[in-house]
Structure 1
């Protein structure tokens, strides 16, 4: 029985040589392995996404904003040991919440200050800094080295005003500020709160300020 002739390959117009057959099979094997590797990578990626989705769905979440509510009076009582001057604990109306309270020491000018940060009823920021034996450099740093724009009397206390709300520069939280001195203490109020909220904070500090005058 005669041997069956090799099939003609369309691309070549003739039968393959043994070398061409071996090269074709090697190429097909390589392509198969490459496709298999790509599929494995896709499957691995999908599996990873499924694991991440399961973790996200499994973690309990709250619809309430995660805001700290710091007990300023309790922190001040503990921090008072580090100060000879009474630390201010302003009594504020409902709607205010403190998210920070600590005794800080500036590395640049050596000033120790009692700091409390608040979220106002208008959801703005207002920080109270009570500098103990403060200096002008410390004050200027808190106010982004801006210039005073006037003065105002609030609850019998004279405050220097730093109104930078119309400034085109990005001054961070130093959009508005108030400063006053009492004895060896300098009070600096700074933030994005409204005039009325600054006045509320200033009035809440009046007892502490008058006690140090």
Structure 2
């Protein structure tokens, strides 16, 4: 607080006298500095808020569920396989029962493992996932990489075809899309089935694949 001095100069209560010119300059400079600090802090808060908004938007765009959903775009994997130019190799594309669909179908030649790979992402009738990976003239490195280098847990025979089993269901969500896997070799092709589906769905897919490849190789 300040009073008015008889000569007209302001009297500062803290000083009990009028301010000198130097004191007035220092007071105004301090006030400006405080305003600048407040403005800087406000700008920082606004900048952080904007950055957070961008991050949340990116997460919303790229986020994926634990397993692909049946609401994903349906792909005609049998048509894609028929159009692929892969000489002397039958690509896995069996006709499946009603309720099965695919959200992915693509062929990659000369991958990092040096193996040509045909991949189909299948969605089961109960909205679970089975990834079909067909390695052409595959090596052990490729097979190990498909299974995250986990060891086999057993084997099972499905309609005459022996499959090696990789069961990680006891890991829960930690197993991701490789909770259960089956591996079998048909001539030059090694087929890896990996996903979250139950035994019945794996049996259905494995049977249809074996039937297709065995019929083509006769």
* TM-score normalised over the length of structure 1: 0.72
Q: Which residue of 2 aligns with 1:72?
A: 77
Q: 1:89 to 1:18 in 2, by over 3 A?
A: closer
Q: Which residue of 2 aligns with 1:9?
A: 12
Instruction: Give the secondary-structure state (helix, strand or coil) at the position aligned to 2:80.
Output: helix
Match of 2:142 among 129, 138, 157: 138
Instruction: Give the secondary-structure state (helix, strand or coil) at the position aligned to 1:166.
Output: helix
Q: How many residues align?
A: 192
Note the residue ranges of structure 2 that are not aligned, 5 or more in a row. Answer: 1-5, 55-68
Q: Which residue of 2 aligns with 1:91?
A: 95
* TM-score normalised over the length of structure 2: 0.71
Match of 1:160 among 159, 164, 167: 164
Match of 2:189 among 185, 188, 199: 185
Residue 102 (structure 1) aligned with residue 114 (structure 2): no
Output the CA distance in 2 between the equivalents of 1:102 and 1:141.
18
Q: Which has the larger radius of gyration?
A: 1
Deviation at 1:32, TM superposition (A): 9.3
Instruction: Give the secondary-structure state (helix, strand or coil) at the position aligned to 2:73.
Output: coil
Tell whether the 8 Å contact from 1:72 to 1:98 is kept in structure 2 after alignment: yes
Tell whether the 8 Å contact from 1:144 to 1:171 is kept in structure 2 after alignment: no
Tell whether the 8 Å contact from 1:155 to 1:202 is kept in structure 2 after alignment: no
Output the CA distance in 2 between the equivalents of 1:184 and 1:200.
22
Root-mean-square deviation (Å) = 3.5
